[in-house]
Amino acid sequence: MQNIFVLKLGSSTVLHGAQIYNQISALVEQGSKVIIVAGGAEAIHKTYDNLGLPEKYLTLRHGNTVRYTPGKDMSIIKSAYNSIIIPKIEDELSQRGISVFSQIAGKSQLTWGKLGKPLLANKNGRNIVIRDSLYGKFAGCDVKQISMILNAFSVVLLTPPIFEKSVNDYINIDADMLAANLAIECNAAHLRFVTSTPGLLYNVNDVDSGIPDLYIKELTDTSFIKGKMKQKLRAVKRVMKHGRCDVAITGVHSLEHKTWVWNYHQADYYEQLFTNIVTIPSVSFDEHVLANYLNDLKMANITSNIDSAGNIVLKKGSGHKKLLLLGHIDTVRNFWQVKIEAGSLKGRGAVDAKAPFATFLSVLNKVKVPSDCQLIVIGAVEEESSSSKGAYQVRDNYEKMPVIIGEPSGIEKLTLGYNGLLKLKLNCHMVQGHSAGKGAISSIDALIDYSNKIREIMANYDPKGLSSIQDISHSKSDNQTELLLNFRVSRYVKSGYVEAIKKQTDKNISLEVLRDTPASTSKRSNQLANAFVSGFKVVQKMIPEYIVKTGTSDMNTLATQWTVPMVAYGPGDSTLDHTLQEEVPFADYHLGIQTLQEAIQTYLGKVTDNDK
């Protein structure tokens, strides 16, 4: 599960923050699975007060104050969560039609911890050793069980305390640290610490002193971080070291205003932009966080919005002569923590296709757009899925205009076209006889045999095409098998192949065409290709190598209805697409920016000169 959003809510946010519940509802509607970790300070105070008992705290020898929870008080802590915090969140979410699973985190040993060491406290000027306080640190959780719960519910709500196996009792844990560790263990994509301030402040008494970006590896002076925010910082540091998710501190009681937390601080603005874009996970169908981040960027003379498909759209200039730079902001699955090593940025999507998209943004910021022109950059969603929702939105709802596609070509190459894509889903359901019986055949046997027949048909229609089985799943209980079959369709394919495939029938097998997008190729003499020749000559002192790629891109989708000049360009070695070795040297990234900027400046100049 790749789209997990962990939210740590303080008790004040839980009890008084109405806006946060609408935002959680929006996350669920966008497809996120949400883990809420709720604190309970205000509820615990109220519970003690209702019982007529004082809360118990210890002053440690270094002056820090911590909660003291002897065994007899653990029931009070649990009651505060069970009677106040959990019912409040359940009620707010149920009003919004959201299914929620909620419990104290340690119940049924869903999470567990390790009892802390005896505390050296100061009482009346004397140092004393406290051995009976039930506190500790996170040690683990049942990830498989949490995943199963997330499959059944939209939201999982967990609160302290957690379970300690060695003493067979609950122990208290800081909710920030619980949230951080759950984000790490569950491989969450996004983590937000929701507070009562608009993010992290330089001055806690000045709400306008917000810090937009915090670079954790360079944070040496922490004197401005006060009170409970210190513990939040410890949690942030842990997840930034061990987690894969993007992290932000947000508020007031909402996700609106935030301090983004980053591991790397680049001296160059455009390297920082590239690094941040790769750091924010954006697996297909979970692009909204990155889209919103880009929509919030402040770049001079550039407007932005998110369209109805979820694409991020940025524009510069207002003239009638338009050029579209179409990239995509989604990636395939399995993201990991971003690293910078040996002058290269390493992370999921660095090659495919965040380096090309960051190149587009950089050029949009740098290029001078003539008064009669407009430069548009779109980061499409769902390019890596069969839906291609973002590209279809552009094709069907935007004005036709010349297009540069943002895909990794390598800095010395220009892509003129792509193979097409035929994606089929085959399903076989049949009664299986005894495996030792004569002529016995399983649904797997039948489906493999059927797929081979389809591949033979396609080989006759398209000898230069490629085919591969992308996925296969089997249910033993009902002998049902499903198979996804991909064909990379060349531009030399003979027409009629889909109809021929559909004629290959089998009573036990159903066939569904998930996608049928033809190949697309542009001429090297088109206006955009010529502009790139100029760009390559000026910047790289060479003529580009022209290539047609065996893969498929959004160029294919647009070309089904747009008869306009198209090329594709972007830094990155496409042989690393979708691998665990995606990386792009910053030197290539900068050279790609320079080459693209020169090509676009040349193109815009020529279309303007044509009217003179």
Sign of CA dihedral 405, 406, 410, 412: positive
Nearest to 530 by CA among 562, 556, 565, 572: 565
Partner residues linked to 566 by β-bridges: 403
Q: Which residues contact 600 (CB under 8 A, 6 or more apart)?
A: 323, 363, 367, 375, 404, 531, 535
CA distance 135 to 137: 7
Is residue 271 among the annotated active site residues?
no
Q: Which residues contact 174 (CB under 8 A, 6 or more apart)?
A: 160, 231, 235
Tell me whether strands 33-38 and 155-159 are parallel, antiparallel or unpaired.
parallel
| Backbone Cα Rg of the chain | 28
User: In whole angstroms, how far apart are CA 219 and each of 241, 255, 287?
Assistant: 14, 23, 29
CA distance 47 to 86: 14
Please work out, in degrees rounded to the nearest 5, the angle formed at the alpha carbon of residue 591 by the alpha carbons of 585 and 593.
105
The angle, 0 to 180 degrees and rounded to 10, between the axes of the packed helices 527-540 and 586-609 is: 130
User: In whole angstroms, how far apart are CA 220 and each of 217, 225, 599?
Assistant: 8, 11, 43
Listed in order, strand segments (DSSP E) in 172-256 are 190-194, 213-215, 246-251
Please report how many Cα atoms fall inside a 13 Å half-sphere around the Cα of residue 555, on the Cβ side: 29
Is residue 383 among the annotated active site residues?
yes
E strand or H helix at 530 = helix 527-540
E strand or H helix at 604 = helix 586-609
CA distance 310 to 312: 6
CA distance 198 to 251: 4
Q: Which of 286, 383, 407, 588 is catalytic?
A: 383
CA distance 253 to 197: 7
CA distance 341 to 264: 11
CA distance 36 to 418: 44
Q: Which of 271, 286, 287, 330 is catalytic?
A: 330
Are the C-beta atoms of residues 347 and 278 closer than 8 Å to each other? yes
Please work out, in degrees rounded to the nearest 5, the angle formed at the alpha carbon of residue 193 by the alpha carbons of 3 and 232.
130
Residues acting as catalytic residues: 330, 383
